[in-house]
Amino acid sequence: MPTSELLAPRGDQRLALVVKSSALTGIDVETGLGELLWSERGRSIWAAATDDTGTMVAVLSAPTDQPSRWRVDFVDIDDGRMERVAIGPRDGTPDAVPDAITAGTGGIAWIPGSQSVAVALPSGGMLQVYPDGSQVRLLRASDAKRPAAVAVSPSGQAVAFVDRSSEHDGNGILAGSMKAKPIDPIVVLPGDRSGNRSARELGWVGSSDRLMTIIDRTELGTPQGDLFYVDVTTARPALAWSSPSGGETASVDAFAVSPDGAVVAFLTNSNDRASTRPSSFWLMQIDGPAIERFDLPTSLRDTRLTFTSSGVVASGLLNAGDAESPLAAAFLLGALGEVGAIYVESVEATPVALPGGSPVASPVGSPAATPLASPVGAGSPVASTTEE
C-alpha cells in the first residue's frame, strides 16, 4: 500500500471527544470549534462514545470517588437535548459480589442498528441501555467482575470486553454472541496470572473475527504498551507493533481501526516520564507492510483517535503546562501527511462543571493563535518503524 493510500481519508465522523474528569468537550473537526457537551458538578466521567452518525454521545458517569449510582446520559449533539438513564438495583443492574468494586475502568460502546449502548460497569456486570430507559442484562457482576473496555462488532452480533478475574491477575479478553442474552462469553485472551501483562482498549478489525488491543507489559520494569491482533476463533494473539528495544522506547497509548478494516492509526508516547519528546502518530496497513510515522508538535495523553473525512484526528489533553488543569487539544493528520492543530483550548475557556449537568451549546474556545495551530514541519512521513 503506497503512502498516499495509507493517508487516504477513511471515515466520516465529524466530532472528536476529549474527556476531562467531569467535563466532556466535543471538537468539530471541520470548523475547529470546541463545545462543552456534558458537565456536572459532583460526578465524574468513566466512559464516553459517539455513535456512528456522529449526532449522539453516550456518557457513563458516577458520583466522584464513589463507583456506584451509575448513570448513562444520551446527549443529542445537534439540539443539546439529553436523556438520563439511572442504573441502580431497581433498574435491573447485575447483582453485586464482594470484590466487584475495584479498579475496573468500565466502558461504553454503541451497538450498531439498535440505537443503544453496551455498558461495562466498573462495579461489575454489563448492560444494554436505551435512551428511553430500557435496560437488558448482558452479564451479571459475577461473570464480569472488573470489566473495562468494551467493543461491539460492526454487525452488532458480537461483543468483546476486557475483564480481570481476580485482583492480582492481568486483564484478559472475552467475547460472545449478542444473539442470546445474557451472553455466554468465551475466553479469547486469558488474564496473565503473574499480573505482568494486561490488556486494555479494544477494537474490531472490520467485519472479521479479529480484535486489536493494547497489552501493557511490566515484567521489565517500566510499563510498555504493545499493539496486538487477537483472533476470536483461535484465541491466538499476534504482535502488530512494538517499540524497538534500546534507546528511548515508546508505548502505544491509543489506537483506532478504520471503518473498512484496512488501516490502524495509533499514538505512542515515550516510556520515560521525564522525556520532552512529542507524541508520535502512526498509520499502519493491516495485513500488509506499509507503515508511516508522523510527529506531533507536543505530547498528548488520554488520547482518542478518530477517522474523519479530512484525515485522522488525535484529541486529548496536553502533557505540557498545568498538570492539575490540562488543556484539551486536537491535531489532524491530513491526506498529504501534514500535521496541524485544529483546536487548542485557551486557559480562559476551561470548562466549568455545571450544577445541573445540562449540555452547553456555546463554544468553549476556538483554536489558539499559537505555533501549535499551524501545520508542523515535523509531520513529514518517516518511513521506518524505529523511534529515532
Give the pLDDT confidence of 103-160 residue by residue, as tens digits.
558 899 999 989 999 999 988 899 999 999 999 999 998 888 888 899 999 999 999 9
Distance, CA of 141 to CA of 94 (rounded, Å):
5
At residue 303 the predicted structure's pLDDT band, cuts being 50, 70 and 90, is very high
Q: Is the pLDDT of residue 261 over 50?
A: yes
CATH class for the domain made up of 40-242 = mainly beta
At residue 319 the predicted structure's pLDDT band, cuts being 50, 70 and 90, is confident
Mean pLDDT of the chain: 83
**Peptide bond before residue 375 is cis, with ω within 30 degrees of 0:** no
> How is the chain split into domains, by residue range?
1-13+260-388, 40-242
Q: Is the pLDDT of residue 97 over 90?
A: no
Q: Is the pLDDT of residue 382 over 50?
A: no
pLDDT for residue 27: 94
Q: Is the pLDDT of residue 195 over 90?
A: no
Average pLDDT over residues 262-270: 96
Q: Is the pLDDT of residue 335 over 80?
A: yes
At residue 88 the predicted structure's pLDDT band, cuts being 50, 70 and 90, is low
Residue positions counted in the chain: 388
Please, what sign has the CA dihedral across residues 269, 107, 146, 71?
A: positive
Residue 128's nearest CA partner among 141, 145, 115, 144 is 115
For residues 121 and 223, the model is more confident at: 121
> Which burial class, exposed, middle or buried, applies to 373 when counting CB atoms under 10 A from its CB (0-12, 13-18, 19+)?
middle
pLDDT for residue 166: 66
Residue 107's nearest CA partner among 74, 137, 152 is 152
Q: Which residue has the cell 516520564?
A: 273
Residue 45's nearest CA partner among 23, 66, 18, 25 is 23
Q: Which stretch, 166-180, 231-245, 371-385, has highest mean pLDDT?
A: 231-245
pLDDT for residue 376: 36
Residues 181-217 as b/e (b if ≥16 CB within 10 A, e otherwise) read: eebebeebbebbeebebbbbbbbbbeebebbbbbbbb
Average pLDDT over residues 41-60: 93
Distance, CA of 274 to CA of 262 (rounded, Å):
35
pTM: 0.83
pLDDT for residue 348: 63
pLDDT for residue 334: 95
Q: Which residue has the cell 459475577?
A: 142
Which strands make up the sheet holding 280-285, listed edge to edge?
Answer: 250-257, 263-270, 280-285, 291-295
